[in-house]
Amino acid sequence: MTRYRWLQADWPLPVRSLATQIRQRSFSDDGSSGFILDRVLDDFLEARYVERYEYEETIADPSARS
């Protein structure tokens, strides 16, 4: 499932400081969630939040063979 949200906000700190904090919470293969920082400008930041959702699925054989 893919969801997109665009946010516009007046942050109490500069965009580059916010980007530094987002980098500290970056997504990695070891974790289950985090940010991917795509682009940072003086007045603009583009990032994605990623959540890993793992599940196990068992599919039954429709012909009922073992």
Say if 65 falls within a structural domain.
Answer: no
* Range of the structural domain that residue 41 is part of: 1-55
Position 66 pLDDT exceeds 80:
no
Q: What is the number of domains present in the chain?
A: 1
Q: Which residues contact 22 (CB under 8 A, 6 or more apart)?
A: 35, 37, 45, 47
The pLDDT, as a whole number, for residue 62 is: 82
| Position with higher pLDDT, 24 vs 63 | 24
Say if 61 falls within a structural domain.
Answer: no
Position 28 pLDDT exceeds 80:
yes
Say if 45 falls within a structural domain.
Answer: yes
Say if 63 falls within a structural domain.
Answer: no
3-state secondary structure of 46: strand
The pLDDT, as a whole number, for residue 6 is: 80
3-state secondary structure of 18: helix
